[in-house]
Amino acid sequence: MTLANLPPLVTVFGGSGFIGRHVVRALAKRGYRIRVAVRRPDLAGFLQPLGNVGQISFIQANLRYRNSVDRAVDGADFVVNCVGILFETGRNSFEAVQEFGGRAVAEAARGVGAKLIHLSAIGAHATSDSGYGRTKGRAEAAIHSIKPDAVIYRPSIVFGPEDSFFNKFADMARISPVLPLVGGGKTKFQPVYVVDIAEAVAKAVEGKVAGGKIYELGGPEVLTFRECLETMLKVTCRTNRLVSIPFSLASLIGSVATLVPFVTPPITPDQVRLLKKDNIVSKEAEAEGRTLKGLGIAPTMVSSVLPSYLVQYRPHGQYTDSGKAA
């Protein structure tokens, strides 16, 4: 194969993360060359079996350092940014990673003439009360000012084998007899399957998605926080009690938890602020077809996937009688 006949090159920032690894898989199946840009390439080798020999390569990159971003996109035909953080640690602030980083990737993509696909989140808004949502919103505005043809995806909470939502509460249920319902558990979510998001990204790379728009990706059902936990408990065959916690108390707990060094906080004050608003696809996006269905992707039900990876949290694993709860 000559150099001119090589498949297009896609640089995937955050390709070893939860969503990123599924994006890499979807692109590899379609035959693209993939350059995975991550902070620790030595920890991303598990991605290589997803493609053929030489199809997936790795490069060190940190969105806080512009020169590494430019190096990662050099020669790329497409750029996918899957990088995002749920809470701040040290120098990895929302502003540095999501706002400055998103802008840096867009400028680098423009510099090499590459098409850009950016992963944001439902709730992103430049004036959001949450630092997470605010920096996501500012990044979106900056990206479309730099790359007007960029495709931006806003997922609701994402579920899948490595998710940090259902896995977290299922693990908590093994230890604690009660589970917290922040704000009474009334916040609405529209859980979206990570594989469906990866397919949406692949369609954008294939040129099947109109650029310059923001798409909102949600699953086929809207569930409250309480209903999400009830579904998880049913799948894991457990009967933990669900206890409502006011937003103010949850925020206080989060403030204290973030002070403990080297420990991932169960919740942060910023996440509490996010929970005060529903996380679902807007009526405008539905009406204009800026959804998974509008992209020709049938959204996957939570109940059809959760048992495949939450079985490990059952009292006796796969040998647990699903008709009995602990």
Q: pLDDT tier at 259 (50, 70, 90 boundaries)? A: confident
Q: Are strands 178-182 and 56-60 parallel, antiparallel or unpaired?
A: unpaired
Residue 2: predicted pLDDT: 47
Residue 325: predicted pLDDT: 64
Residue 108 exposed, middle or buried by CB count within 10 Å (0-12, 13-18, 19+): buried
Does this model's pTM top 0.85?
yes
Pick 264 or 222 by higher pLDDT. Answer: 222
Closest CA to 214 of 126, 300, 273: 126
Q: Determine what percent of the chain is predicted with pLDDT higher than 70.
A: 97
Distance CA 182, CA 87 (A): 17
What residues pair up with 92 in beta bridges, in sequence order? 89
Residue recorded with tokens 């490595």: 162
Q: pLDDT tier at 326 (50, 70, 90 boundaries)? A: low
> Which DSSP string corresponds to 127-183?
T-SSHHHHHHHHHHHHHHHH-TT-EEEEESSEESTT-SSHHHHHHHHHH-SEEEEEG
- pLDDT tens digits along 209-247: 999 999 999 999 999 999 999 999 999 999 999 999 999
- pLDDT tens digits along 146-192: 999 999 999 999 999 999 999 999 999 999 999 999 999 999 999 99
3-state secondary structure of 106: helix
Three-state SS letters, 10-62: EEEECCCCHHHHHHHHHHHHCCCEEEEEECCHHHCHHHHHHCCCCCEEEEECC
Delineate the domains of the chain, giving CATH numbers in brackets: 3-160+190-220+279-300 (3.40.50.720)
Q: Are 21 and 49 in contact (CB under 8 A)?
A: no
